[in-house]
A and B are shown apart, each in its own frame.
Chain A
Amino acid sequence: MKDNLTRFFASRLGIILVGAVIGILGPLLVKFGNPPNMGICVACFERDIAGALGLHRATAVQYIRPEIIGFVLGSLVAALLFREFKARAGSAPIVRFVLGAFAMIGALAFLGCPWRANFRLAGGDLTAIPALAGLVVGIWGGVLFLKRGYNLGRSQKTYPAVGWIMPLLMVGLLLLAIFQPVFTKDGPIFATAAGKGPGALHAALGVSLGIGLVIGFLAQRTRFCTMGAVRDVILMRDVHLLSGLLALLVAAFLTNLVLGQFNPGYTGQPIAHSNLLWNILGMMLAGLAYALAGGCPGRQLFLAGEGDGDSGIFVLGMITGAAFAHNFGLAASADKVVDGVVQVGGLTIPGMIAVILGLAVCLSIGFTMREKV
């Protein structure tokens, strides 16, 4: 029975079905209260968690997002049930931390990870098209490095307890989200006040957690990955993962149509900016960093759930990157509509420098960490 299920999830039909399920659940989360075109955004949600903990103090984006917790714990359950939980670590962790941090800085220059780029497009946000093009170029750059022998080395099998650290951290976050303890006066846990930003927009905790768990479970079984989808096509003409991603896009588009959440346009889209250059470059940086780290931000959470300590480090790098992005004013500001006139948002000068620096750092990692082939 389990073997049959494993075979099904590994099949083309399996990945397409799972992509479609995620594509339906994303817009539904918006319906249930998540921010517009942000049913699921791994980067944004990790950023919100960083804010809730007070690692950054941007009051508009502070909330412990249960979806992230669900992604890790759902994957953990799947890995345990199917005997795939395997603690491993030690493949250049510090490099993964740095890649995670810059992946986040790139994603926040665009205001979304590849997941949200697809959900934005499915909601009619046309700025996602150049951003996705940037993402593809970034991943293509990563593929060139892979072909020239880039690799972060082997991980080692280790004590099961190592693999439990990220899931337990998520349980800790869940307890903080449920009980909202007060640590100091005016201190964490922070939460965006109603009407004061996207952090205040969220589905009920149980709904977000439940959907997160379902997606975590399904994605662990199918290895769903928004970066791998593009990488595998460029690297070996394999459309397996891409078919899942396309299913997500189509299903999300149809669900948005049904729910009346499809509003096509280029400027003034929700929690998005229409600054072409930095949308492209931001996602290019993110794509390159994900390709060098071997997985999109979602996939890193799923891997962390099945015991991969190196993916856990990447996640912690992303959360740290989010803290830097908001403390240093590197994250993009969204388009604003003032008196019916659209003010185009975008990056600050430090934000632009950070993206360029990130590209330089990722290129250096790609060039210097190669085995002879």
Chain B
Amino acid sequence: MATIVDARGLSCPQPVLQAQKAIQQGDFPITVLVDTVTSRENVRRMAEKNGCQVQVQPVGDEFYLTLTPKT
């Protein structure tokens, strides 16, 4: 199973809250779609704090963040 969180167009803290909920549910890998650098940095900071590894892939002017548990 994997989770996709589409947080594009949502302003903070919504993307962080949605990503946090997905982490708590634990269906890794989690892909978070965001469209601002602010959201990218905020989600990254929260995920790393919650023991995740974060890979960022820029797609056009959006970002796909892949969250996996840190091994």
Contact = CB atoms under 8 A, between A and B. Distances in A.
Interface of A: 6, 10, 82, 84, 86, 88, 91, 146, 151-152, 154-157, 223, 228, 231-232, 235-236, 238, 240, 294, 308, 310
B45 A240 contact: yes
A2 to B, nearest CB: 12
Contacts of B42: 223
Contacts of B12: 228, 294
B70 interface: no
Contacts of B17: 146, 235
B9 to A, nearest CB: 3
B9 A146 contact: no
A88 B11 CA distance: 11
Interface string B25-56: 00000000001111001100110010000000
- Dominant SS among interface residues on chain B: helix
Shortest 8 CB-CB contacts between residues of A and residues of B: A154-B9, A10-B41, A294-B11, A155-B9, A84-B37, A151-B14, A223-B38, A154-B10
Given A86-B36, A146-B13, A238 B46 contact: yes
Interface of B: 8-14, 16-17, 20, 35-38, 41-42, 45-46, 49, 61
Contact of B9 (A88, A223, A238, A294): A88
B32 to A, nearest CB: 15
B11 A157 contact: no
Given A236-B16, A236-B20, A238-B45, A91 B11 contact: yes
B35 A236 contact: no
Nearest to B62: A157
Contacts of A154: 8-10
Tell me which of A88, A223, A236, A310 has the highest count of chain B C-beta atoms within 10 A of its own C-beta.
Answer: A236
A84 B36 contact: yes
Contacts of B49: 238
B63 to A, nearest CB: 12
B58 to A, nearest CB: 11
B57 to A, nearest CB: 15
Contacts of A86: 35-36, 61
A310 B45 CA distance: 25
A235 B14 CA distance: 11
A297 B54 CA distance: 32
